[in-house]
Chains A and B, each alone.
Chain A
């Protein structure tokens, strides 16, 4: 009985995870602007991978000794993914946007990426 329940749960979580990875990839192809494209992988990285890792945990508990180190993958992914997204966004702001296109920071003078000394920029 536990075998059947385990099998159903594992299949369900794998399908859910894979579906969100697919949607994330479709988003990457379909969306047109670089900043919008950045939203695609956040889905694949959170619920997509999360679903597949959850399937792995359920499988190990249903059929084996049980294992939890999938949680670590999840934690490390959650800690590192926003940082790479943040840097891609920063590069994009740096190259493709002028400070006027962005909203003004409510509390400070300027956004960090645009905080450049005009003397130091060599390229026009």
Chain B
């Protein structure tokens, strides 16, 4: 029953929050209308995504977001230094192949997005079965260190959230 009314509870919650932010004010009417949208839209779109993405530990998402935001700030400053003060021929641009332990598509998508958002690395491709990620680094002296940092810093945390 609950499954039929709320096929994607997290999506419903997200829609309410997005609606309140769009209206840019918090009142009872806004929340009620947001809730109506949050119920109707998942029901109408449910046939297009029958699989419910499982997120066993959503509360750990907050810590992950904070870490990523902090890393974006730090990496921005580092990469700004590289762009402004390093000559093009001194840069060691490399391709890095990252073996993935994550298996859920949602987690891999978030990992790829995180890699692109932190300046200095761009995720370029996945392998045919989706078990490895191809990353391009702007300036990396030690490609293995970059790979290990991505694996321990982001992938391990995503594994805790999604598995």
Interface residues of A (CB under 8 A from B): 20, 23, 26-27, 30-33, 35-36, 38-40, 42-43, 46-47, 50, 67-69, 71-72, 78-79, 81-83, 85-86, 89-90, 92-93, 101-113, 115
B128 & A86 in contact (Cβ 8 Å cutoff): no
CB-CB under 8 A from A103, the residues of chain B are 95-97, 134
Contacts of A93 in B (CB 8 A): 124-125, 134
- In the complex, are the beta carbons of B127 and A109 less than 8 A apart? yes
Q: B76 contacts the other chain (Cβ, under 8 Å)?
A: yes
Cα distance, A50 to B79, chains bound together (Å): 16
A34 to nearest B CB, angstroms? Answer: 10
Instruction: Tell me if B's interface is mostly helix, strand, loop or mixed.
Output: mixed
A115 to B138: give the CA distance in the assembly, Å. 25
Number of A-B pairs, beta carbon distance below 8 Å? 137
B88/A32 in contact, CB under 8 A: yes
Q: Could you tell me if A89 and B117 are in contact, using CB atoms closer than 8 angstroms?
A: no
Additional 11 contacts, C-beta under 8 A, given A38-B136, A103-B95: A20-B80, A26-B84, A36-B138, A38-B122, A47-B72, A71-B21, A85-B122, A93-B124, A102-B97, A106-B97, A109-B127
The 9 residue pairs across chains A and B that have the minimum distance between CB atoms: A108-B127, A107-B131, A105-B127, A82-B116, A89-B124, A106-B99, A105-B132, A82-B113, A27-B83
A112, B128: Cβ atoms under 8 Å?
yes
**A-contacting residues, B84-106, CB 8 Å:** 84, 88, 91, 93, 95-100
